[in-house]
Amino acid sequence: MSTFRYLLRDTFRLIFRHWGMSLLTLFSISAVFFLLGASSLLSLNTRHLLGNIEGQLTVQAYLKPGSDLEAARKKVQTFGNIVQIVAITPDEALEHLKARLGNRAEVITLVGENPLPPALEIRVERAAHVSSLARRLVAMAEVEDVVYAGGLAEKLSRLSVFVGRLSVGILVIAVVAAVMVLFNTVRMAVYSRRDEIHVMLQVGATQTYVALPFVLQGMLLGMMGAAFAALTLLKGYSSAISVLAATMPFLLFLRDGALLAKLGVVLVGAGICLGWIASWFAVVRYIRDAVKPL
């Protein structure tokens, strides 16, 4: 209890002793985590949007007349990455066509017999799966023709990969920046107290006891910076979404409150972890050198 009280007291002493530096660190960490959170939101929204479009992406496989529709459906089911297969008989296809033509449906009666082939309407999990599925369908003996939005599927797939890479790139830059900012802040605090550290080690304080206030300082600054960034970001995002949804109703933005709350928690957790890692490296090596005998 006594040790815990000392650690807390010393941690706050470190923060307030160099309050200018602490404030600067808080702003820097907030900016970095804001960038990290914004990139995560961009990535989540892109995936959300792509998910919606992908959900509507279908592949139509037209079978040769007289083919066994149910057998073909079962065969395609084994291909994997498939969300749904709807088997459409020629009669059902004709009914759909009539419904779409409306008043002009009488034209079909001029043809005499039903010219429409049996078909499979297939929905896949991801846009990236469309091309490979189409190739497999074309190779089937009972399939006469395959129709799908190949260009759109490929573009969606490329966009998804690009957004994923962009997010990872921003993540790496943000993590490195956060670690460097926290590392330097704690390192400066260590140097400003190097004489005290030497005295503490000489009179029998353990390395952990000496290091902990610095580590807690890093964790606290990381946590507060990330929390400030998360609050600003999520508040700003909900305001921005309200405006954007009114002006661009055709775009589907992410509004999942639980997911956004999780993002906030992840950011704060990342702030604590990065604060811990950066300050640990900043202080431990210094202490190890300080206790090394001459």
Residue closer to other proteins (CB basis): 139 or 294: 294
Query: In which element (H, E) is residue 58 found?
Result: strand 58-63
Q: Which of 171, 201, 241, 284 binds other proteins (CB under 8 A)?
A: 201
Instruction: Kindly state whether residue 1 participates in binding other proteins, applying the rule CB under 8 A.
Output: yes
Token pair 């896949």 is at which residue? 124
31 scored as a contact of other proteins (CB under 8 A): no
Q: Does 202 bind other proteins (CB under 8 A)?
A: yes
Q: Which stretch binds other proteins (CB under 8 A): 23-31, 47-55, 99-107, 203-211?
A: 203-211
Q: Measured from the CB of residue 278, what is the shortest distance to other proteins in angstroms? A: 23
Name the nearest CA neighbour of 127 among 97, 102, 148, 106. Answer: 148
First-residue to last-residue Cα distance in the chain: 35
Query: Does 81 sit near other proteins (CB under 8 A)?
Result: no
Task: Tell me if residue 288 falls in helix, strand or coil.
Answer: helix
Q: Which of residues 205-234 bind other proteins (CB under 8 A)?
A: 205-207, 209
Rounded to a whole number of angstroms, the minimum distance from the CB of residue 204 to other proteins is 4
Of 64, 212, 205, 61, the residue nearest 130 (C-alpha):
61
3-class secondary-structure state, position 143: strand
Interface with other proteins: number of residues (CB under 8 A): 23
Q: Does 102 bind other proteins (CB under 8 A)?
A: no
Rounded (5°) CA angle 41-178-159: 30
Asked if residue 200 binds other proteins (CB under 8 A), the reply is: yes
- Given the rule CB under 8 A, which of 32-40, 97-105, 182-190, 198-206 is the region that contacts other proteins? 198-206
Q: How far is CA 87 from the centre of its chain?
A: 35
Q: Which residue lies nearer to other proteins by CB, 14 or 57?
A: 14
Among 68, 70, 196, 256, binds other proteins (CB under 8 A): 196
Q: Does 12 bind other proteins (CB under 8 A)?
A: no
Q: Which are the contacts of 166, defined by CB distance < 8 A and separation ≥ 6?
A: 39, 42, 43
Q: Does residue 112 sit in helix, strand or coil?
A: coil
Residue 178: count other Cβ atoms within 10 Å of its Cβ. Answer: 28
Is 195 a residue that touches other proteins (CB under 8 A)?
A: yes
Residue 139 φ/ψ, nearest 5 degrees? -75, -10
How far is the C-alpha of 139 from the C-alpha of 117, rounded, in Å? 18
Question: CA separation (Å) from 216 to 76, 158, 222?
Answer: 58, 43, 10
Q: Is 110 in the site for other proteins (CB under 8 A)?
A: no
The nearest distance, CB 205 to other proteins, in angstroms, is 4
Q: Which residue bears the tokens 């050198």?
A: 289
Choose which of 8, 12, 17, 154 interacts with other proteins (CB under 8 A): 17
For position 204 contacting other proteins by CB under 8 A, the verdict is: yes
289 lines the binding site for other proteins (CB under 8 A): no
Which spans of this chain sit near other proteins (rule: CB under 8 A)? Answer: 1-3, 5-6, 13, 17, 195-196, 198-207, 209, 291, 293-294
